[in-house]
Chains A and B, each alone.
Chain A
Amino acid sequence: MYQFEYQTPKSAADVVAALKADEDAKVVAGGMTLIPTLKQRLAMPTTLIDLRSVPELKGVREEGGTIVVGAMTTHAEVWADPTVKSKFPALSYLAGKIGDAQVRNRGTIGGSIANADPAADYPAAVLALNATIVTDSREIAADDMFTGLFETALNEGEIITEVRFPIAKRAGYAKFRHPASRYAIVGVMVAETDSGVRVGVTGAGPNAFRVPEMEQALASNFSPDAVANIKVPADDLNSDIHASAEYRAHLVTVMAKRAVEAAMG
């Protein structure tokens, strides 16, 4: 690991100021991705800005018809949160399936979304719920957030402060996980809100995406059968040592079906 300065600012404003002051600085949340990257010398930040002492980034609250999750809330906290459990059980379930117990104790929702690993779980929920990503300077709509492999709409020096999930009428998540890393080879969240049905898919492609054909089918018939014969083309999907693109395409349909089943309870 290269040498770096280490800072623990006490407010989001201080974080942003610190980032502005040093363009080679990096933010660390839980560090579940960043620390391995540093250990492999794949990144060499001059300064590490730890968000752990910023109180406004933590916690879950309900606001109108929305569940607001602070960026530094760990997966374990999302999983165990009573509000999430009662109002958005699919998100609690999703959080409880990330990595393993120790990783869930450190990893955070903000870190996961900002990192935009193609196999991370949260992006499926962000898309399916049409969540709003709130940063220090603006709000980003779910559909604008994930732009490519490890790429998001976030600007340099911009940090996520919270994520707002509209409460769904029903939602379900199904994941075919990589057996070793437990990342999603394919993860699908299906959610029905007042504004319709959305299907968010993670793991399958270079970044999370929606499946409009499934959404339309589910809007008129919210049942597993509605998506059973809808296939996404394998051409644009990931193919690697863990699964071929064809296998992933097949799994998107199966997981969508299972997500609908889960949403129906």
Chain B
Amino acid sequence: MNMSKKKTGIAEIYSKFGIFIILLATIIISAVISPAFLSATNIINVIRQNVTIGIVACGVQLVLLCGEVDLSLGSVAAFAGCFAAMTQVATGSTLLALLTGVVIGGIIGFLNGLVITQCAIPSFIMTLASQQAARGAILAITKAKPISNLGNFSKFGQGYLGPIPIPILIWIVILILTGFILNKMRFGRYVYAVGGNKAAAQASGIKVKKIVTRCFTYTGLLSGLGGVVLMGRVNSGQPTGGEQLEFDAITAVIIGGTSMSGGVGNIYGTIAGALFVGFLINIMTLLNVSAYYQQIVKGVIIALAVIIDVKVRNGSKK
């Protein structure tokens, strides 16, 4: 009995602080084994490489906190990003291109949320359907060809404001915004309440459907923004871009301590989760570890994170 409590306690401590300790340990070990790792350029590179995942992760965190899931992120990012690229080519206006991408992402997210809540369809199924539809649509529209000659559009992914890359600045803004929503706004508290216990939230007067729809809309908006940053980074509208993005983003959020069943998690964990996966892949590439082994490591980490999540939840139920 005591042993069980102790084990649960360790898992609980991990869920609160573990990712930060592991992130720190990863950075220290990596710095020791590869001199190139701790340079400012490399650190900025890793952050920049993971900005798209980080931005989208902020959105999907809200959905996961509600106890739902969104598998359409990558396809929505490609759809919205390519439309933004097409707008850039057609109008030459970078601002209009950005708005197009974000708004299109938001509309798809809103539709996802609306159908899920009004038709009582599991979010897994609905977002899987919109994942397929969005990917198919953008491939059909572009005929699978990249959109090039984007001019200033590349600044979203490659530009600098002083010494800081613009995509990193965008991520910082999104992190602050998401942190504010979750910690300071009533809407944020409702998100936790809905994820913790939907029935209780409903009984206490929270409009659950409205909250869930808003969460999907926010995820859609950030997927659109992530798509713009991604296409800016590769300096072209890539209809196949963002594949597996949803899994990378969900991995970051879960490793960061957000529960798959909702109600538990914070933005700091998500930041650490995204950076941890990024640093891990980075050090393996620096050490020339084969891509096959990199996939194994990524898989093991996801499994461990979910096992710990389940353990914590089971522990808290007892």
A and B are interacting partners: no
Question: Which residue numbers of A lie inside 8 Å of B, CB to CB?
Answer: none
Question: Which residue numbers of B lie inside 8 Å of A, CB to CB?
Answer: none
